[in-house]
Structure 1
Amino acid sequence: MLVGEGMMRHWGLTSWRRADPAQAQIPASRVAQVGSDGSVRKDGAITPDGHIVNTSYTVNSPHPPAMDAPGQRGQLVPELDAPTIGDRLSERGVSWKWYAGGWDAALAGRADDTFQFHHQAFAFFRRYADGTEGRRLHLADETAFLSDLHAHPLPAVSFIKPLGVDNEHPGYASLLTGQAHVASLVSALQQSPEWRSTAVIITYDENGGRYDHVPPPAGDRWGPGVRVPAIIVSPLARRHLVDHTRYETVSILRLIERRWGLEALGERDEKANDLTAAFAFD
């Protein structure tokens, strides 16, 4: 992980996406069946112990139009009620938004071919369902990020999920296109009054399949996994630093929780290192 002019050596991938079967009232027809040898006996949107399969879609919009066909809607994941980092921020009166590339077009039924319906994390939750105040206030198209930046001020916390064509994913996206897209967003921030108090954290959900000679540390079923790229761009980042602290995806959550005194979402983020060693806060 790069920080200013320094480097952080260990950033592991964490996967954490849970549904509560009892709470969500998920019918047995949606739950996968796995044999004692680990083989899949019946496919399903939810694992036997209640975890959402990566390519599942929410019952809320947007989801692929084909999922509204007869017999398909029953495969959609019901609205979830578990707390999110957005809820924690709202409880403290801290402003935040999730900006997604292609969001408006997907809601209008004109989704780009590379729009990832299953990556719209907050859309899975009841508080951000269709027609809710939570959705109106907190879920927006990525183009609104620049509009909000120019209107000043930005929300205290912003999440940006680029459109698939800009996400550098192997197989269908270009590395250069994705990096140029991120660079344009960072450049816009650097030229704004927001910059002096901003920290940008850029990271990925996989390592691209390349070999890593460093084995993941012992953890639990969710990681840490293989090391993935992560970059902090900020005037507050420490320079000329080699940080050997172990970080992971939920370290971002832990940093947000520590900054605003939020209750942790679970044991995993509560125990994660919080990235403060990478910053020179006054």
Structure 2
Amino acid sequence: MSLLTGCSNGPTMPTQQSGQNPFGKIRHLIVLYQENWSFDSLYGYFPGVDGIKNASPTAVQQVDKNGKPYTTLPQPLNNNQPDSRFPANLPVQPFDAAKYVTPDLMTGDLVHRFYQEQYQVDGGKMDKFVAWSDAAGLVMSYYDATNLPEGKLAQQYTMGDHFFHAAFGGSFLNHFWMICACTAKFPNAPTTLVAQLDSNGQMVKDGAVTPDGYAVNTSFTVNTPHPSDTPTANLVPQQTMPTIGDELSAQNVSWAWYAGGWNGALAGHPDKLFQFHHQPFAYFANYADNKPAKKEHLKDEQDFLAALQDGTLPAISFVKPLGTQNEHPGYANETGGQQHIADLVKAIQASSVWQDTAIVIAYDENGGRWDHVAPPRGDRWGPGVRVPAIFISPFAKRGVVDHTVYDTSS
């Protein structure tokens, strides 16, 4: 959050002050927020990173839920069915998915939920990804994205190889942690939504809400937009914790969240791949349907492109592409998602703001895929598995790998 508040709407700082403030020359920060890949599963072979070649035998070895080592990887699954594009009985090690399914095609989705990720990490041993996945051996697959569109950008600028998603589990919770470093409260949630744990804290029944009333898996807001078929009792109540948006507004720093498909969703005809749970500000009372801040700060991705062209871009921009363009396995292909981000970067570089802009390409979470680096020990919420981060700016170091440890709330 300190990085975000380093931007300002005011005049350029004096030279002396800029020298004291490493962000003094940056007037615009743009976060391009993608989906569902671990670091190793895209950049495990990127030059100079802590990649797959550094993985210990223990981190590579996978064991079942009882601790018995797998002798081969079980058949990768797609929607709980064997994916015949992949061979059965692959060795227990990371494998190049492009040999079987090229990155311009789609693989299946993989489970990425709050409790399951903790079991997969297994106290830092990283050895139960296969056991707790609904995609079996697919969790050990990777694409070498070094020469895909975003990888080429990373070669030109700075790659971060120790960036961890802030909270265990999926997109819903990690979008919250991106904007408030907090977990949504859902007291008195319907029992059908509440997970059940045994006396040892092990999951007996999965659920969207913890036994003590926190929403940790995909849930929808009582505000609009939300899926029209969601029972009212299942909608998360308005949240009141402070967000980065509130902090920016309090400091008179302009900002906006730009989401692909937002206008259609607000109008009641959402794109079939619009993700309601990827819109974290919409869950908060300050951005409720009757609040002016909703219209002021929550916008469509097309508004981002328009603001670039007419010179009205706010100091802070969060850009959340539509499902077909966000790299999420199961409904986006990797090449297309990366090309969309590269096109956005190209548009930024061609605009009047490029000379004073920093761009961060980040991923919300690992999408259930294996990584060899254990996340730092934190608290009950996370952090989760390592994800890619790419830093692009006229001020960014060129061709550098940054090994600094970050998480989504850094």
TM-score (norm 2): 0.56
Of 14, 25, 34 in structure 1, the residue corresponding to residue 196 of structure 2 is: 34
Displacement after TM superposition at 1:33 (Å): 4.6
More displaced stretch, 27-36 vs 72-81: 27-36
RMSD: 2.1
Percent same amino acid among aligned pairs? 53
Of 179, 184, 202 in structure 2, the residue corresponding to residue 19 of structure 1 is: 184
Relative contact order (alpha carbons < 8 A, sep ≥ 6): 1 or 2 greater? 2
Aligned to 1:130: 289
1:208-223 aligned within 5 A: 208-223=367-382
Of 280, 298, 305 in structure 2, the residue corresponding to residue 121 of structure 1 is: 280
More displaced stretch, 225-234 vs 78-87: 225-234
Displacement after TM superposition at 1:4 (Å): 4.5
Note if contact 1:3-1:238 (Cα within 8 Å) is conserved in structure 2. Answer: no
Aligned to 2:228: 65
Segments of structure 1 that go 5 or more residues without pairing to the other structure are 252-282
User: Are 1:56 and 2:208 an aligned pair?
Assistant: no
Q: 1:74 to 1:195 in 2, by over 3 A?
A: same
Q: 1:184 to 1:107 in 2, by over 3 A?
A: same
State the distance in 1 between where 2:399 and 2:324 align: 34
Give 1 or 2 for the bigger CA radius of gyration.
2
User: Are 1:10 and 2:162 an aligned pair?
Assistant: yes
Work out the number of aligned pairs and report it.
242
1:154-173 aligned within 5 A: 154-173=313-332
State the distance in 1 between where 2:288 and 2:197 align: 35
State the distance in 2 between where 1:7 and 1:237 align: 10
State the distance in 1 between where 2:164 and 2:384 align: 5
Deviations 1:181-229 (A, max 9, x none): 1111111110111001111111112334443222222222333322111
State the distance in 2 between where 1:27 and 1:102 align: 32
State the distance in 1 between where 2:211 and 2:367 align: 28
Q: SS where residue 209 of structure 2 aligns?
A: coil
State the distance in 1 between where 2:257 and 2:373 align: 33
State the distance in 2 between where 1:35 and 1:194 align: 51
Q: SS where residue 386 of structure 2 aligns?
A: coil
Aligned to 1:275: none
Segments of structure 2 that go 5 or more residues without pairing to the other structure are 1-38, 40-153, 168-176
Displacement after TM superposition at 1:47 (Å): 1.7
Note if contact 1:19-1:80 (Cα within 8 Å) is conserved in structure 2. Answer: yes
State the distance in 1 between where 2:260 and 2:377 align: 35
Q: 1:195 to 1:127 in 2, by over 3 A?
A: same
More displaced stretch, 80-89 vs 210-219: 210-219
Displacement after TM superposition at 1:136 (Å): 1.1
